Structure 1
Amino acid sequence: MSVVGIDLGAYTCYEAVARDGGIETVANEYSDRCTPAYVSLTNKQRFIGVSAKQQNVTNFKNTISSFKRLIGRRYNDAHVQREKQFVPYAITEGPHGSTDILVQYMGEQQRFSPEQIVAMLLTKMKETGEAALKTKVVDVVVSVPSFYTDRERRAMLDACQISGLNCLRLMNDTTAVALAYGIYKKDLPEPNDKPRHVVFVDMGYTSLQICAVAFNKGKLKMLGVSSDPYLGGRDFDRFLVEHFAEDFKKRYNIDALSKPKALLRLATECEKLKKLMSANTQSIPLNIECFMDDKDVSGRMDRETFEGMTSGLIKQAEVAMKRILEYTKLRPDDIYSVEIVGGASRMPCIKSMVQSIFGKEPSTTLNADEAVSRGCALQCAILSPTFRVRDFSITDCQPYSLSLRWQGGIEEDCDLELFPMFSPIPASKMLTFFKKEPFQLEARYTYPNMVPFPEALVGVFKIDKVTPQANGESSKVKVKVRTNIHGIFNVSSASMVEKGDDHQEEGAEENMETDDGPKPENSDNSLASEEDSAVESKSGESNETPMQTEPDASNPEQTNQENSTGEVKKEAVAAKKKKKTIKMIDLPVESIVPQLNRSEINLLLEKENQMIMQDKLEKERADAKNAVEEYVYEIRDKLYGDYEQYTKDSEREPLSQLLNQTEDWLYDEGEDQSRQVYIDKLASLKKLGQPISDRYKEALERPAAFEALGTALQQVRKCSAQIEQKDEKYSHLEPADVEKLNKCLKQKTDWYEKHMNLQGKTPLHEPPVVTASQIHTEKQLLDSVCNPILNKPKPKPQPPPEEKKPDPKANEVKAEDQPQSPDDKAAMDLD
């Protein structure tokens, strides 16, 4: 399983992977770790990332950027209308009021939803990850802004599915940064000690996000988030663009705002100027050649003037930063440090604002560009079963308060706040209703004015097949609602409690169940709720099933009391022994939420795969065309240079003419041909040019091959001479081996001298008598025969036979056997 984290920004993207025991940000095919969030469409293929941004000026109507800002929103949304002024491509209304992007693709005008464009970018990031990891990428964690609403998060999950990715978690940018910061800290307070409060400020290209986090050893808890979706680096760029456009209009009488190409060029230069001013206090020049009407333009700007122009934006940032202190009730003295990330956070005015509000020098220990992607990769590693990661608990928070509304019959609609602002996620609650018929629940944002989205409705959930009890009473319906790991609200399940026939006191009516008090009467639409833990536990679910409701007759105290009085009626005893029978029935839940269904996802996935295949085919076609063009230029340059002495006049002229004709064809009717046409054209060129190339190549390689074979022959000849001189080194060789060695040496020497002489007499423009590969083959044959003989080891000498030690007992003579006198000795000799 791959571990991949993707920071999908509005302007740039970064991708981090778990590899070699750590987290690494991978580079794309341009060896750049930053992939621009651009998609450019043409009549033949798509360009994504760096190649797409390169067409931002030349193909501006079909080059799409900042599309992440449109995902999950309707066309009449004020947010979408605001975005139209920042982009040069056409944004139009789609079916049912959706937002569509209108571009020219495959020779016709086509519509793409923002989800499809995001999926294209994710496909590119997927390919980058697969190239780095050398394996298939499926499971990922993708970042989203903390201010994203439920609808935008659902749309992002749809985009992941369209690109063929399984998103394990949609992670808030701020949470990812906090994880990347905290998981490596070894000096955090113990779990039971006072937490360390750290504020993270993330100003990117289009938005500002601030969060306060409480850190303890092995865990982090999000205390609150504050954001401004309409304040980012491009807003500062916009002031520079408008300033210089007005300046050029006065001094050069040209209107840059009226020409999209000129405006894009000016925006690019203003972005560079802003970055230079962040590092310099002196005045910085701006120069653009042939800007409009063949006029060169120039201007200057310094940091002080720039900050004066953008004072309103700086004030806007100040409001968002102060809001986090208000939300979390933190004082500057309670904050341990302030970490800044994001490209626009490098501006000195933002750093000064951070220091003035929080009373802390902004810290830059994190990589401002890559911190989010690294945090996402760490979260993916935590969720992956194949990687071991340091234990670290992450408690995120719900950015907006969520409420639930249901129909209350004759009275007004009932409303309940389920998840307050900044409540932990994931989280779930169990709700109990008493209903006689199917009903529906509406999830809404409690305070719509605090949500940067025009619609307060999150979704409608219909609970079906609710029926009254057999005795006509309302049925108890238990509904589980949940905010999942992605920050998306849903009704996860619903069940109805069905009671069997049992005894009930007269006049009692069960209408509502609560956890801490008796059931009120005459309340057909009452509701009770009980909170679950962030992760559903078995113990919590077991409490949902009501236990025995009547007293147990086996109670010893009751039994003793009854025996002492002796006045127990038979009817009372029977009632005490009677038990209620309860059955839980699962109810179908129909979710009406703004999300694509499975069939729509499959259709868009199929279309995405078709576009991927088209891109692949077009790349192969372009490669085939480039191969023809490259061959034409290469051979033509060498034909009267390096190849001249290897070419006959009868070969050179026809080949030269064919090369010129092919070049003219490439820029005329051969501009747009099929891949096979280019393959055939290259084959016809190589039919004439390849023999020349081969002769040139052989002439370069053959001398070295002859030299290697000559050296090998010389070494074998030297060894043969030593054998003839009875050298001790080769004294162990058998005569048959020596004969075989000499025979091979003579054959290869004759072959070497013959072919070397023949090749020396052959002109360079004629086919060679012998090729370098043939010479190498002869050398290998020589080595295979001679080396085993020459390297044959000597047999080990036989060890001398061991001498038997004389047995001392063998020389001993018994006393009775020894001669006692000379006469006895003489007698023994005679015997």
Structure 2
Amino acid sequence: MSVVGFDLGNQSCYIALARAGGIETIANEYSDRCTPTCVSLGEKQRVMGVSAKNQMISNVKNTLHGFKRLLGRKFDDPLVQAEKVHLPYEVVKFQNGDAGIKANYLGDAEEFSIPQVVAMMLTKLKETAEANIGRKVVDCVLSVPNFYTDTERRALLDAAKISELNCLRLMNDTTAVALAYGIYKQDLPAPEEKPRNVIFVDMGHSALQVAACAFNKGKLKVLATSADPTLGGRDFDRVISNQFAEEFKKKYKIDAKSKPRALLRLLAESEKLKKQMSVNANLLPLNIECFMEDIDVSAKMKRADFEEMAADLLKRIEAPLRQVLADSKLKKEDVESVEIIGGSTRVPAVKEIIKKVFGKDPSTTLNQDEAVARGCALQCAILSPTFRVREFAITDVTAYPIKLTWKSSMEEESEMEVFSKNHQAPFSKMLTFYRQEPFDLEAVYIDPKSLPYPNPYIGRFTINKVTPNPQGESSKVKVKIRVNIHGVLTLPSASMVEKLPEQPEGEVNGPEPMETDQTEDQKKTEAGEEQNADKQNEQQANPEQNQEAAMETDQTEAPKTENDDDAARATPEEEKKENTDAKNGEKKAEPQSKKSKKQVKMIDLPIDIHVNRFTTGQINLAVEKEGKMIMQDKQEKDRIDSKNSVEEYVYDMRNKLYERYEKFISEKDRETFSKLLDDTENWLYEDGEDEKKQVYIDKLASLKKLGNPVVNRYQEDELRPKAFEEFGSALQQVRKVLDLYAQKDEKYDHIPEEDMKKVEKALKEKQKWYDTKLNAQNQLAPHQNPAVMSDQILTEKKNLETVCNPIINKPKPKVEPPKDDKKEEKKEGESGDAKPEGAATQPEQEQQPQQQQQQQPQQESKSQEDMDLD
């Protein structure tokens, strides 16, 4: 199982992996841990990340960036219309009203949905992670802004499915940062002690997010969140670029805003200047060569001027900071520290505002760029069964209050708040309705004015197959509503409660529904709790009284990690809770009386869900399209690699023909080959610029047909002398052995003469071959093909050794030492007269049975002792 965390930002992305040694932020193919959130569509392929960003100026209308802001939104959305002005590519309206992007891909104009484009970026991050860990990546945790609504979160989950990623959790940026901060802290207060309160401020490229968190040992609880979704570093960049655009208009008579390429260059230079002003308060220059109409432009700005121009933006920072204090009910003195992340928090004016609001200097203990990705990887490790992670419970919150609306039996509109602002999440609630027929529940956000989204509508949920009870009255329907681990509102289950006939205690007729026996005290306690629940939380939907659904007392806090809708783990307590919430089978639902048992069974009801997200068919089509694009990218990469191989060979050989390989090719052949290389180079940049892969393969093969002999002659000139030297040494060694044998050397006198004749014959043959080939090679020029190859020489050497070595290395036979006759006679004298065989051992044989008889009783008594001990 892969353990990967992706921080998908509006401007840049980061990837973190959980390894045995901890969390590591990995680098892309350019050895950069920051990957730009950029997709460039071309005539032959698409590129993402750094390569795409490099094409922002050259392929301006087909290079997509800033698209994350459009995720899950309609074309007529005010935010989309505002963003559209600053985007160089075309934003279009789909038939369902969603915003999309139109761009040229493979020579044709195509329209892409925003989740498709986000999926392209996720595919790039996935490939980078797979290249680093060497295996397929499937499971991951994705970061998401804490102000995202239900529709935007569902759209991001759709994008993950299109890129074939299994998102275990959508994790709020600030929550991920808090996890990365708290899980390594060893000095957190004990669970029963007062928590440590920390404020996290994340100001990135396009948004400001704030969260107040309470830490105890092994526990993180988010108290409140706030945000400004339209305030980030890019707004400061635009302030600077607008100032320079006006200045250039007056000074150079050019309008930078009229040309997308010029505006993009100006924004890039403005961002660089902003970063320089963050560390230098002096007057700093801005210079751009050939900006427009071959005009070089220059200007200057200092930090004080920038802060004055951005005063309105800086004032907006205070509101979310003060809002999070108010919602969390914390005072300045209750806050232990203020942790800042995000590139825009490096601006000195931003730090000053944070210090002013919270009364303390902001802390930078976390990596301001990589903290979110690291927190996501930690969450993925917690959810993964392959890693053992320190126990750490995480409780998040819902950003906006949610209510349910429905029509009563009198066709009157009723509503009820189910989740308040900053309500803990994940969280489940059980609602009770009284109905005789199917009914609809609509979920909406309560306060549209505080919502950074024009439509407060979340979705409609239809509860089907509701029928009257056997008495013809309204049936009791229990509906479970939940904000799941992704922060998405769901209706996991709905059940109809059917009462069974009452039976006297002890009487059993047929199979009995599932129930749990209770003591008298337990019955009283449960009855009291149910009565209190009826008073406080439950408004029963009675047609006569016109009272509708309400929350029951079986609400429980969701565990730190759970399995609700999307493959995350659940604690045993949560599983027990889920099982008792009327999913399958027959379960007890009413308190028991003393004389009879009220028995019920739960009937699962189907739910139709109507929310703003892709259908299964749409996702399948998008997955198929993404697969085709991935295949096209791979084919184009292989084609370009083949082309580059030809180009590389041309440059490499042309230089070496007049240097390293000069003496290994004739003058005539060199001129011919050199001309062919020049012609190939010209062909590459003209007719051969856009050929198929096989054409480049054939072209390279034709070049190597002429070039390989030259290269081989060079290589043989390096290897052949050494091979001849080794072969000559082997011949000399065999000759030396033959000379010693002729001199009757005792080292070889054990070898038969006929074997040595075989050695002598082999030596003569190989010596003759050696002399012939050496003389032939010495008569050839370096540019001529060699008379013999180095591998042939080594083969002949091996053949010689195969024949000769077993003979000349044959070991001498071992000689047994002669027997000493005197010692044999002495041994016979000591033994005295000869006795019949076996006579000397007869007394010993007679003694052995006696000894055995003496030992046997001891062994028997010992075994008896052992048995007694046992």
Give TM-score scaled by structure 1 length.
Answer: 0.87
> Which letter maps to 2:273?
L
Q: Structure 2: how far apart are the matches of 1:719 and 1:256?
A: 91
- The match for 1:552 is 594
- The match for 2:157 is 157
- The match for 1:759 is 777
Q: Is the 8 A contact 1:432 1:513 kept in 2?
A: no
> Which letter maps to 1:534?
A
Q: Does 1:619 align with 2:637?
A: yes
CA 198–797 in structure 1, closer or farther in 2 if over 3 Å, else same: farther
What are the equivalent positions in structure 2 for 1:217-228 lying under 5 Å apart? 217-228=217-228
CA 515–655 in structure 1, closer or farther in 2 if over 3 Å, else same: same
Flag structure 1 segments of 5+ consecutive residues without an equivalent: 504-511, 554-576, 813-831
CA 541–612 in structure 1, closer or farther in 2 if over 3 Å, else same: closer
Q: Structure 1: how far apart are the matches of 2:139 and 2:807?
A: 59
Q: Is the 8 A contact 1:409 1:525 kept in 2?
A: no
Q: Is the 8 A contact 2:337 2:360 kept in 1?
A: yes
Q: Does 1:206 align with 2:230?
A: no
CA 401–698 in structure 1, closer or farther in 2 if over 3 Å, else same: same
Deviation at 1:273, TM superposition (A): 1.0
- The match for 1:526 is 548
Deviates more, 1:618-627 or 1:489-498: 618-627
What are the equivalent positions in structure 2 for 1:346-745 lying under 5 Å apart? 346-410=346-410, 412-500=412-500, 515-517=533-535, 522-530=544-552, 531-535=555-559, 536-539=574-577, 541-542=579-580, 545-547=587-589, 551-553=593-595, 580-707=598-725, 709=727
What are the equivalent positions in structure 2 for 1:169-248 lying under 5 Å apart? 169-248=169-248
What is the CA deviation profile of residues 663-709 of structure 1, one whole-angstrom value per residue up to 9, with x for unaligned ones? 33323222222112222222222222322232233223333444455
Q: Structure 2: how far apart are the matches of 1:790 and 1:283?
A: 89
Deviates more, 1:332-341 or 1:632-641: 632-641
Q: Structure 2: how far apart are the matches of 1:450 and 1:10?
A: 22
Q: Is the 8 A contact 2:441 2:461 kept in 1?
A: yes
Q: Structure 1: how far apart are the matches of 2:739 and 2:281?
A: 84
Q: Does 1:101 align with 2:139?
A: no
Q: Does 1:136 align with 2:174?
A: no
Q: Is the 8 A contact 2:425 2:558 kept in 1?
A: yes
Q: Structure 2: how far apart are the matches of 1:22 and 1:798?
A: 69
What is the CA deviation profile of residues 386-426 of structure 1, one whole-angstrom value per residue up to 9, with x for unaligned ones? 11111111111111111111112437421111111112211
CA 58–539 in structure 1, closer or farther in 2 if over 3 Å, else same: closer
Q: Is the 8 A contact 2:71 2:155 kept in 1?
A: yes
Q: Structure 1: how far apart are the matches of 2:628 and 2:280?
A: 49
Q: Structure 2: how far apart are the matches of 1:794 and 1:355?
A: 94
Deviation at 1:767, TM superposition (A): 1.1
Deviates more, 1:127-136 or 1:335-344: 335-344
Deviation at 1:31, TM superposition (A): 1.4
CA 700–407 in structure 1, closer or farther in 2 if over 3 Å, else same: same
- The match for 1:573 is none
Q: Is the 8 A contact 2:343 2:369 kept in 1?
A: yes
Flag structure 2 segments of 5+ consecutive residues without an equivalent: 504-529, 560-573, 834-870
> Which letter maps to 2:657?
L
Q: Is the 8 A contact 1:532 1:540 kept in 2?
A: no
Secondary structure of residue in 1 paired with 2:110: strand
Deviation at 1:21, TM superposition (A): 2.7
Identity of aligned residues (%): 55
Deviates more, 1:261-270 or 1:739-748: 739-748
Aligned residues: 779
What is the RMSD computed on CA atoms of the aligned residues? 3.1
Q: Is the 8 A contact 2:751 2:807 kept in 1?
A: no
What is the CA deviation profile of residues 493-514 of structure 1, one whole-angstrom value per residue up to 9, with x for unaligned ones? 11111234669xxxxxxxx998
Deviation at 1:712, TM superposition (A): 6.2
Deviates more, 1:219-228 or 1:581-590: 581-590
Q: Does 1:771 align with 2:813?
A: no
> Which letter maps to 1:661?
D
Deviation at 1:776, TM superposition (A): 4.3
Q: Structure 1: how far apart are the matches of 2:545 and 2:686?
A: 84
> Which letter maps to 1:203?
M
Q: Is the 8 A contact 2:541 2:547 kept in 1?
A: no
Q: Structure 1: how far apart are the matches of 2:214 and 2:738?
A: 84
- The match for 1:272 is 272
Deviation at 1:318, TM superposition (A): 1.9
> Which letter maps to 1:529?
M
What are the equivalent positions in structure 2 for 1:2-21 lying under 5 Å apart? 2-21=2-21
Secondary structure of residue in 2 paired with 1:96: coil
CA 472–331 in structure 1, closer or farther in 2 if over 3 Å, else same: same
Q: Structure 1: how far apart are the matches of 2:818 and 2:532?
A: 104
Q: Structure 1: how far apart are the matches of 2:808 and 2:448?
A: 92
CA 514–262 in structure 1, closer or farther in 2 if over 3 Å, else same: same
Deviation at 1:632, TM superposition (A): 2.6
Q: Is the 8 A contact 1:651 1:688 kept in 2?
A: no
Deviation at 1:144, TM superposition (A): 0.8
Deviation at 1:741, TM superposition (A): 7.2
Q: Structure 1: how far apart are the matches of 2:403 and 2:808?
A: 91
- The match for 1:36 is 36
CA 396–764 in structure 1, closer or farther in 2 if over 3 Å, else same: same
Q: Structure 2: how far apart are the matches of 1:753 and 1:284?
A: 79
Deviation at 1:280, TM superposition (A): 1.4
Deviates more, 1:37-46 or 1:385-394: 385-394
Q: Is the 8 A contact 2:590 2:600 kept in 1?
A: no
Q: Is the 8 A contact 2:589 2:599 kept in 1?
A: no
What is the CA deviation profile of residues 186-211 of structure 1, one whole-angstrom value per residue up to 9, with x for unaligned ones? 11111211111111111111111111
Secondary structure of residue in 2 paired with 1:194: coil
Secondary structure of residue in 2 paired with 1:223: strand
Q: Structure 2: how far apart are the matches of 1:428 and 1:732?
A: 98
Deviates more, 1:655-664 or 1:151-160: 655-664
Q: Is the 8 A contact 2:28 2:35 kept in 1?
A: yes
CA 772–196 in structure 1, closer or farther in 2 if over 3 Å, else same: farther
> Which letter maps to 1:350?
V
Secondary structure of residue in 2 paired with 1:97: coil
Give TM-score scaled by structure 2 length.
Answer: 0.83
Deviates more, 1:666-675 or 1:98-107: 666-675
- The match for 2:92 is 92
Q: Is the 8 A contact 2:588 2:601 kept in 1?
A: no
> Which letter maps to 1:606?
E
Q: Structure 1: how far apart are the matches of 2:648 and 2:317?
A: 54
> Which letter maps to 1:175?
T
Q: Is the 8 A contact 1:16 1:23 kept in 2?
A: yes
Deviation at 1:717, TM superposition (A): 7.0
Q: Is the 8 A contact 2:434 2:541 kept in 1?
A: no
> Which letter maps to 1:597?
T
Q: Structure 1: how far apart are the matches of 2:301 and 2:808?
A: 82
What is the CA deviation profile of residues 427-459 of structure 1, one whole-angstrom value per residue up to 9, with x for unaligned ones? 101111001111110111122212211111111
> Which letter maps to 1:595?
R
Deviation at 1:479, TM superposition (A): 0.4
Q: Structure 1: how far apart are the matches of 2:817 and 2:456?
A: 101
CA 495–671 in structure 1, closer or farther in 2 if over 3 Å, else same: same
> Which letter maps to 1:228?
D
Secondary structure of residue in 2 paired with 1:212: strand
Q: Structure 2: how far apart are the matches of 1:516 and 1:394?
A: 31
Q: Does 1:306 align with 2:306?
A: yes
Q: Is the 8 A contact 1:204 1:342 kept in 2?
A: yes
